[in-house]
Chain A
Amino acid sequence: MAIIERPSATPATAGAGAPTFVPPSQAMGIFHRPVATTGWKSWLFTVDHKKIGIMYGVAAFAFFLVGGLEALLIRTQLAAPDNTVLSAGLYNQMFTMHGTTMIFLFVMPMISALANYFIPLQIGARDVAFPRFNALSFWCFLFGGIFLNTSWFLGGAADGGWFMYQPNASNLFSPSHGVDFWALGVQITGIASLTGAINLIVTIINMRAPGMTLWKMPMYTWMILVTQFLLVFAVPVISVALFLLTFQRSFGGQFFNVDAGADPLLWQHLFWIFGHPEVYILIMPSFGIASEIIPVFSRKPLFGYKVMALSGAVIAFVGFGVWAHHMFASGLGPVSVAVFSASTMIIAIPTGVKIINWTLTMWGGKIRYTAAMIFILGMIVQFVIGGLSGVTHAVSPSDTQQTDTYYIVAHFHYVIFGGAVFGIFAAFYFWWPKMFGRMLDERLGKWNFWLMAIGMNLTFGPMHMIGLQGQPRRMVVWPSKLTGDGLFNLGFWNRVASVGSYMIGIGVIVFLVNIYRTHRKSNTASLAPLDPWDARSLEWMTANPPKDHNFDAIPTVHELDEFFHRKYEEVDTEHGPKLVKTTTAEALLAEQEANADEHIHMPSPSYWPILLAFTLPVISYGIIFSIPLAALGGALLLVCAFGWALEPSTAPESDFDPPAEAGPSKELEHVG
């Protein structure tokens, strides 16, 4: 269901009187579509990509705080030798849920939040291709995440690590329901990722503004497109693995039963065929964010635009051929190890290209060190450190030494926290004025950055050392007799890491304080100008925050960085050609308003996405606790699917500009 240009009653627009056409509001349906535009109903049943984006963001950030608390508990436990803050069992649950929460419930949905909000704006569209599926994605993610976390109160959370290796996570070694919750919860969030990915790909391919060819798309849109293709092909593989795990644990399937002759490497292969593309799914959107922010704050176009896009695509493509480097220690044999070693090193090339292009974009530019920009600079430095330690894993003899030590923990936190999450925070500072019409405080933003950056390097930097010293991952204690002395003092560096983690926590609190202060009603200084950064891409050619329908008139695109080129013109001076600002964002917006499209019809809200998503945790609880409940959930799912399919595709009342004589009907008052 695209943006609905709902045909008017005249037959001329109703598909030219074609006999196959049924006006959408006359299609059969069980409920009328809801029409509320304010209040909680307008959020619960919304299909608006901006509202869904904000809900995604709020929910993902809440899970970020949960995952962060889990991390702080882990670091508290490891701050002293032979510590007893957490029991061994609880510690296992803590690191499992920390990893699972941060990856599936924070970084991925936060990427969806930003992509949902900004992709339609960046490509000059009024919504995504399938607005109801968009809502379904969000509710699946939220219900899946809540379902997963209820395991804490229903007998304990999963304790097999976020990779849930088999047969270690079989009923024999992990008898609680935690792993069952994990398998089903991640499965539900997988549905969210898959529908979201299909939605965004179709949106980007089919709904670009006129004139926006692939080579005129903003780099963020490019990177999101690449990421969504990764999701489309990586998610079904983890789905298979999770189905097998559920069937094994709940219905007695044999897949990972080594006694019956099962191959323990099967799980590892399935998991990492998903798991390695997954890490590019996590980092690539932040690459896109960097490619948006650096040109704006360097006042230069992105260096090597096409190479940037292609290197992203190459990373994604090769990223499907490197998964076994997670398994070098499992005895794959020399040929496999050599091949995966080489393919892993190849990935460093397109990644290096990106780093160099960002650097050359900044080179000679007029750099403004805003909070967004310094977050990106931090991201680049930290990602390079993480990338370099990544290359040391690609060398398999060296990897064999590092496997299962803190060196690995250091590596992936540098790329995921130092890279992906810093990019996400940069996006917060950069795009906040667009989303909420208010600017986050820059001074607090810099506090936020330095606390997080110093904290992050204090936490994960020493882990390189204690890892190479041999401290294993996932151990609940380190004994005092192994503390050591001198530079490689295990005890000292573990304490440093714990102190660093608290600094990160304070940095996040500063961010929350920043949000609170920015949004106080009395704070008029934070009200954002229309174009605070002198930005380049189409999302800034909308109101702050954008109207429901985004653009009064869909712009026709002539250039990469269309918005910038509308503001600036090249003028010949005695020193050669020079860009001169000839108009402002306000003027461009006023011009757009003056030429506004008539009859803009936005998709109507719907009850079905939230209802359908709600049946999935019902089925999942049923699989764990009572099969009749699962059957009931399945029946409800079928009802919801029919309700969805038979729903009238629009509510007549929700027109953007209803005819004056019609006015709001009784139904509108009743429902809204």
Chain B
Amino acid sequence: MADVAVHTDHAAPDGHAAVGHAAMHTTIPGLSNNKLGMWLFLGSDCLLFGGLISVYMLYRGRNGTGPGPDALWDIPLTSVSSFVLLMSSLTMVLAVSAAHRDEDAKAQTWLSVTALLGSTFVGAQVYEFTSFYHEGLGYTTSLFSSSFYSLTGFHGVHVTVGVIMLLTLVAMVSKNKIPGQKAEAIEMVGLYWHFVDVVWIVIFTLVYLIPT
């Protein structure tokens, strides 16, 4: 979201931009620089999570003398927090849609709700980690614990960064200080947010639902 800058280059009616405007359309695809950059970053991030998930799948059964997954998982709790995170994708869509219709107040509301849902998820994860720790699953306990905390921890950091970006957006929209296209800035954070949600679906399935 850092570089939500002016994107009027080729659309500006003055200067050189008008020259060869038609030719531009034949050679340049429709995605803006920011969006294309975000898609590439997310593609790259897939490989990051791919690596972490592979490590977890390799080590999920290797809990040594420490507690194993089956003894720890609280499926109802994690299901509820997963549901909360998935619902935040819906509110994110509503925020982007409101932004496209220039309804700032609505966009702010939905962004705030998304941030709240995301924080709830992170809160549940902190609670979950704490209770696992009290049940004897430290970071250094076993191969399983190290890889579990690393994978879900990386995801939790992603969600937290997303929440910070959402709250920043709310503040920037309220001060009307987003340079360039406001809706695109919100959509960019939205892309990131949906990605983080989709990754969680994979993690929830592989880590929690498939028995060891």
Contacts and interface: CB of A to CB of B under 8 A. Distances in A.
Interface string A176-209: 0000000000000000001001110110011111
A649 B6 contact: yes
B138 to A, nearest CB: 9
B40 A597 contact: no
Contact of A235 (B5, B44, B142, B181): B44
Given A13-B14, A28-B175, A254-B145, A645 B37 contact: no
A21 B181 contact: yes
B6 A210 contact: no
A351 to B, nearest CB: 25
B71 interface: no
B47 to A, nearest CB: 4
Contacts of B28: 205-208
Given A232-B43, A649-B5, A260 B179 contact: no
B24 A210 contact: yes
A198 B142 contact: no
Interface string A1-21: 111111110001101000111
A85 to B, nearest CB: 40
Interface stretch (B15-23, B90-98, B195-203): B15-23
B48 A239 contact: yes
A122 to B, nearest CB: 14
Contacts of B45: 236
A270 interface: yes
Contact of B29 (A2, A23, A206): A206
Given A5-B12, A21-B180, A206 B146 contact: no
Most buried by B among A211, A261, A599: A261
Interface in B89-145: 102, 139-143, 145
B16 A260 contact: no
Interface residues of B, number: 67
B5 A24 contact: yes
Contact of B9 (A2, A253, A254, A641): A2
* Interface size range of chain A in the complex: 35 or more
Contacts of B43: 232-233
B70 interface: no
A278 to B, nearest CB: 14
B51 A270 contact: yes
Contact of A205 (B9, B21, B29): B29
A285 interface: no
A260 B64 contact: yes
B15 A600 contact: yes
A670 to B, nearest CB: 23
Interface string B133-169: 0000001111101110010001000000000000010
A210 B33 contact: no
Contact of A255 (B20, B143, B179): B143
A252 interface: yes
A213 interface: yes
Contacts of A208: 27-28
Contacts of A23: 179
Given A5-B6, A235-B44, A254-B142, A198 B37 contact: yes
A2 B142 contact: no
B23 to A, nearest CB: 4
Contacts of A207: 28, 33
B169 to A, nearest CB: 10
B31 interface: yes
A262 interface: yes
B84 interface: no
Contacts of B183: 20
A281 to B, nearest CB: 14
A7 B2 CA distance: 20
A248 B150 CA distance: 11
A211 B47 contact: no
Contacts of A12: 13
Interface of B: 1-9, 12-17, 19-21, 23-24, 26-29, 31-33, 36-37, 40-41, 43-48, 50-52, 55, 58-59, 62, 64, 102, 139-143, 145-147, 150, 154, 168, 172, 175-183
What 8 A-B pairs come out closest when comparing CB atoms?
A: A210-B20, A240-B51, A597-B16, A1-B5, A210-B23, A252-B140, A649-B5, A236-B48
Given A4-B9, A255-B59, 8 more contacts: A2-B9, A3-B9, A20-B183, A21-B180, A209-B20, A253-B150, A255-B147, A270-B51
7 contacts: A12-B13, A132-B2, A232-B43, A262-B62, A262-B143, A266-B58, A554-B19
Interface of A: 1-8, 12-13, 15, 19-24, 26-28, 129-130, 132-133, 194, 197-199, 201-202, 205-213, 232-237, 239-241, 243-244, 247-248, 251-255, 257, 260-263, 266, 270, 553-554, 556, 597-600, 641-642, 644-646, 648-650
